[in-house]
Amino acid sequence: MIHVRHLSHSFGPHLVIQNCTFSLGKGDFLFLSGPSGAGKTTLLRLLYAALPSQIGEISVAGVDLRGIRGRAVADLRRQVGVVFQDFKILPLRTVQANIALPLQVRGLVSPHIERRVRAVARALGLESRLGLPCGGLSGGEQQRVAIARAFVVNPKVLLADEPTGNLDPELSFRLMELFKQFQAYGATVIFATHSRELIRRHPSARVMRLEEGAIIHANWPGARVSSAGGEEGIDASPPLSLDGRDEFARSSP
């Protein structure tokens, strides 16, 4: 579903993504972690063609993103749901209008749109807010609107950039369940987060850690750690550290 090979990206002289190679299949769930400035957002932006690919190969949902332009970009984004780190919701429009946006863009008819929007809003606890303008919502509510807008189209690929950054732990755990549901229906999910706690709670998920644009850790064979020694070795080490595994043992039911 997602294939990335020897991908590099630089802003001017500043190399932000360095020789990343990994691939994810249908129904895979990946936690993308790493310190601030590691390049998580940049990698995601490359995956939905918000940045032009420079070096390396990249394909998403069967679409080769090299040199992709115009209508093909729009077609790609119709298969990819994105939750933006900065939400990107329209403050003057209502919650309903914001969530409905991707459906309207696809030319769906209003009764259908309304049904889908209502269902997603209910799942995210936004049903009572549907008529309000988004500008007046709390940070957490706005974030949920951003998530709802990505969910509403049932995307094949779901890219979420810190989607629980503004939520209390309790709510973020509940939201995680929704993401997992998407995965269960066959969506490929990349979930960028700083939260070790979230990662610990989902030991079966794939985890990839970026630092300064390089993959320094990954827990499945489809990813290649760009270690100092070379790019050949596939890191098959268990997820996180030993004490991390203890955490998993404790938190899993």
Ligand X SMILES: Nc1ncnc2c1ncn2[C@@H]1O[C@H](COP(=O)(O)OP(=O)(O)OP(=O)(O)O)[C@@H](O)[C@H]1O
Q: Out of Mg ion, other proteins, ligand X, none, which partner does residue 53 contact, by CB within 5 to 8 A per kind?
A: none
Measured from the CB atom, is 73 or 216 closer to other proteins?
A: 73
Which two structure tokens, joined as six digits, stand for 159? 């890219």
Q: Give 206's DSSP letter.
A: E
Amino acid symbol at 111: P
User: Do β-strands 2-11 and 80-83 pair in parallel, antiparallel, or remain unpaired?
Assistant: unpaired
Which of ligand X, other proteins, Mg ion, none is residue 187 near (CB under 5 to 8 Å by kind)?
A: none
Question: Nearer Cβ to ligand X, position 42 or 142?
Answer: 42
Q: What angle in degrees, to the nearest 10, is found between the helix axes of 110-123 and 95-105?
A: 130
In whole angstroms, what is the distance from residue 41 CA to residue 49 CA?
12
Residues 58-97 binding Mg ion (CB under 5 A) are 85
| 41 sits near Mg ion (criterion: CB under 5 A) | yes
The neighbour count for residue 101, using CB atoms within 10 Å, is: 18
Q: Does 249 bind ligand X (CB under 6 A)?
A: no
Binding mask 72-91 for ligand X (x = CB under 6 A): -------------x------
- Minimum CB distance to ligand X smaller for 16 or for 157: 16
- Provide the H-helix boundaries in the chain: 40-47, 70-77, 95-105, 110-123, 139-151, 169-184, 196-201, 242-251
Spatial contact of 83 and 146, defined as CB atoms under 8 Å apart = yes
Residues forming contacts to other proteins in the complex (CB under 8 A) are 48, 50, 70-71, 73-78, 82, 84, 88-90, 92-93, 101-102, 104-107, 109, 149
Site string for ligand X, 32-71 (x = CB under 6 A): --x-xxxxxxx-----------------------------
H-type helices in 89-138, by residue range? 95-105, 110-123
Q: Least distance to other proteins from the beta carbon of 112, Å?
A: 13
Q: Residue numbers of the site for ligand X (CB under 6 A)?
A: 11, 14, 16, 34, 36-42, 85
